[in-house]
Structure 1
Amino acid sequence: MKKIAAIVRNHVPSNASKDVQDVINQSRFVGKVLRGQGWSVVEVELGSDIGEVVSALRGIRPHVVFNLVESFMGSDELASMAPVIFRNLGYSFTGADSPVLFMTNDKLAAKRHLMSVDLPTPRGLDEIGLKRGRFSHKGRYIIKSRYEHASLGLDETSVIQADKAEDLLAAMEDQRQKLGGSCIAEEFIDGREFSVSLIESPSGECMILGSAEIAFRADMDVKIVGYQAKWDEGSDADKSTVRGFEFRKAEPELSRLLEKTALDCWEEMGLRGYARVDFRVDANGKAFIIDVNANPCLSEDAGFIATAMEAGWKPEEVISSIVKSALGKYAN
């Protein structure tokens, strides 16, 4: 009898933006790989009615749930609800558990935890912190969504010069709508950008899958990977931010620093299954964690799979490893 995998993803409205639609591409890709490996695959959509998903999963009785839920009821903040459902039903599921997703989906909470365990990350402030006098120095800051991901709302206007707390408060108020609600001000690290992809072995050990650099065009005024660069293929922003892997051989010390820090992040944040840690590196070679991606995008053309392929992994091997690391966890 074939083993059954349930791919659970969030509901995608018909008028959804490209970043929201991308979960459909992920589901199709994962489903194709699993079917090729002999699994019977059923796709389940998590909409607003949790009871429907519970009933569907009880009827399917999957051996594993492949969790591709990126949002719930239109909010990335609520994506952490999905593992609660799977765990309470007694099904093994891929990727991070609920408490980890809850923390990493809140950029300020993740940042505070990183700082508490002495992992390097730029200082971040929310409106309450600014109003309570925590603004410490003049400089450049980047205004980010606190809970939404996929670089939602990020563009060159997101980086500002702030001389006082009121400058940041005004910028946050001005950009709140395009950032999807609550936002934070993070010290801007003017430098290079990297990512390290991580995967859990079936024995439970974290392995470095690979690392990549996003090379910025030299004449860019503000060197960031904004929304357009990620989602508007062929745009000037896309062409100005090119993924490359050459630095691993050219700069082995930097590569080792990033990978060690990413492994420390995996342990301290309680990540599992697979993850990606994003960095900025300043002119002095100091690395800062700017984002912790539990359950990163698994589209066939996304950075996680591209990094794996550069390191010699086949996409099928990546998906198989993710499933194998999940089997038996939380299952009744």
Structure 2
Amino acid sequence: MKRTAAVVRNRVPRGAAGDVADVIAQSRFVSRMLRELGWSVVEVELGSDLGEAVNTLQGIRPAVVFNLVESIMDSDELANLTPIIFRKLGLPFTGADSSVLFLTNDKLAAKRHMLSVGLPTPAGVDETGLKRGRFPGPGRYIVKSRCEHASIGLDDSSVMDITGADQLLAAMAARRHRQGGACMAERFINGREFSVSLLETADHTAEILGSAEIVFRHDMPVKIVGYDAKWQEGSEADLSTVRGFAFRRAEPGLTARLERTARDCWDEMGLSGYARVDFRADAQGDLFIIDVNANPCLAENAGFMATAREAGRKPSDVIAAIVDGALRRHIGEKKAA
């Protein structure tokens, strides 16, 4: 008899933008891979009525929940609630636990934690910090949403030269609406951009699936991966930011430093299941973590799966490893209880 997997994702409103609707493509792809692996699959939508999803899962009693929920009530900040629900129901679930999602979904909290454990990350601050006199000093900054993801509102104008705290405070206040709420700013690292994809192993350590570089077109005025580069396929921004892997062979020392720092990040941030760590390198070659992605996008053409394919891993094998990790953690938790 086939075991049942529940693929749970957030409900997507009709006509939603690409960054929101992308979770549908993820759900379909993951479901297809699970069926290839011999699972019976039920796709479950989680909307504002959490009780509805709870009742559905109680009726299904799946052997595992594949957690693809990226937001609740249109807020990425609430996505950390889903592991709490799954654990309360006694169901194994894929990916990061609630405390880790809470930490990584708040970019400033994640930054503070990284700095406290010695992980390299650019100095950052939010509006409250500026009002309390914590201005890191003049220089070039990038203003981001603090808790929303998918590069919401991020474009060339997000990068700015700042001379004082009041100027940065005004810039964050002006961008609050377009960037989905509270903003933060961090020192802009003007250099190359990389990502490292990681997968949990049988002994709960991190396997490096591989690393990739975003190769920026040389004449780009501001070299960032903004909203259009991610979600407007065929746009100038998209065509100017190309994923590449050649540096791995050409620069083994850089590759080793990226992967070593990504492993340290996995351990210090308490990541599990699968993750992606994004870096920038400055002109001196120093590395800085700019984002920690717990439960990164698993769409077929997204960075995590592209990196896995480059490493010779079949997508179905990656999905199988993620599910196996969820089942192992659940068994371990039951034994420890």
Equivalent-residue separation in structure 2 for 1:110 and 1:203 (angstroms): 25
Structure 1 runs of 4+ with >4 Å offset: none
Match of residue 125 from structure 1: 125
Match of residue 139 from structure 1: 139
Match of residue 290 from structure 1: 290
Match of residue 215 from structure 1: 215
Q: Does 1:266 align with 2:272?
A: no
Query: Is contact 2:123–2:187 with CA below 8 Å preserved after alignment?
Result: yes
Q: TM-score if structure 2 supplies the norm length?
A: 0.97
Query: Cα offset for 1:328?
Result: 4.1
Q: Does 1:115 align with 2:115?
A: yes
> Alignment partner of 1:327: what SS?
helix
Match of residue 257 from structure 1: 257
Letter of the structure 1 residue corresponding to residue 14 of structure 2:
S
Query: Is contact 1:203–1:325 with CA below 8 Å preserved after alignment?
Result: no
Q: Does 1:322 align with 2:312?
A: no
Match of residue 104 from structure 2: 104
Query: Cα offset for 1:306?
Result: 0.2
Equivalent-residue separation in structure 1 for 2:5 and 2:217 (angstroms): 43
Letter of the structure 2 residue corresponding to residue 146 of structure 1:
R
Query: Is contact 2:124–2:136 with CA below 8 Å preserved after alignment?
Result: no
> Alignment partner of 1:210: what SS?
strand
CA deviation profile, 1:146-196 (whole Å, cap 9, x unmatched): 000011110000000000001111111111111001000110000000000
Query: Is contact 2:76–2:147 with CA below 8 Å preserved after alignment?
Result: yes
Query: Is contact 2:140–2:161 with CA below 8 Å preserved after alignment?
Result: yes
> Alignment partner of 2:329: what SS?
coil
Q: Does 1:59 align with 2:59?
A: yes
Q: Does 1:240 align with 2:240?
A: yes
Equivalent-residue separation in structure 2 for 1:223 and 1:281 (angstroms): 12
Letter of the structure 1 residue corresponding to residue 304 of structure 2:
F
Query: Is contact 1:192–1:282 with CA below 8 Å preserved after alignment?
Result: yes
Equivalent-residue separation in structure 2 for 1:129 and 1:6 (angstroms): 42
Equivalent-residue separation in structure 1 for 2:91 and 2:127 (angstroms): 40
Equivalent-residue separation in structure 1 for 2:309 and 2:131 (angstroms): 47
Match of residue 74 from structure 1: 74
> Alignment partner of 2:151: what SS?
coil
Equivalent-residue separation in structure 1 for 2:215 and 2:193 (angstroms): 7
Match of residue 19 from structure 1: 19
Equivalent-residue separation in structure 2 for 1:73 and 1:330 (angstroms): 28
Equivalent-residue separation in structure 2 for 1:59 and 1:203 (angstroms): 32
Equivalent-residue separation in structure 2 for 1:163 and 1:139 (angstroms): 7
Query: Is contact 1:12–1:20 with CA below 8 Å preserved after alignment?
Result: yes
Equivalent-residue separation in structure 2 for 1:22 and 1:284 (angstroms): 37
Match of residue 173 from structure 1: 173
Match of residue 34 from structure 1: 34
Query: Cα offset for 1:330?
Result: 3.3
Equivalent-residue separation in structure 2 for 1:63 and 1:205 (angstroms): 23
CA deviation profile, 1:200-239 (whole Å, cap 9, x unmatched): 1233221000000000010111000000000011110001
Query: Is contact 1:96–1:272 with CA below 8 Å preserved after alignment?
Result: yes
CA deviation profile, 1:258-308 (whole Å, cap 9, x unmatched): 100000000000000000000000000000000000000000000000000
Match of residue 93 from structure 2: 93
Structure 2, unpaired ranges of 5+: none
Equivalent-residue separation in structure 2 for 1:309 and 1:53 (angstroms): 33
Equivalent-residue separation in structure 2 for 1:48 and 1:134 (angstroms): 37
Match of residue 164 from structure 1: 164
> Alignment partner of 2:79: what SS?
helix
Query: Is contact 2:123–2:136 with CA below 8 Å preserved after alignment?
Result: no
Q: TM-score if structure 1 supplies the norm length?
A: 0.99
Equivalent-residue separation in structure 1 for 2:143 and 2:203 (angstroms): 40
Equivalent-residue separation in structure 2 for 1:312 and 1:305 (angstroms): 11
Query: Is contact 1:87–1:330 with CA below 8 Å preserved after alignment?
Result: no
Match of residue 305 from structure 2: 305
Query: Is contact 2:142–2:185 with CA below 8 Å preserved after alignment?
Result: yes
Equivalent-residue separation in structure 1 for 2:218 and 2:236 (angstroms): 13
Query: Cα offset for 1:137?
Result: 1.6
Query: Is contact 1:104–1:294 with CA below 8 Å preserved after alignment?
Result: yes
Letter of the structure 2 residue corresponding to residue 82 of structure 1:
T
Query: Cα offset for 1:53?
Result: 1.0
Match of residue 231 from structure 1: 231
Query: Cα offset for 1:39?
Result: 0.3
User: For this pair of structures, how many residues does the alignment match?
Assistant: 332
Query: Is contact 2:125–2:136 with CA below 8 Å preserved after alignment?
Result: no
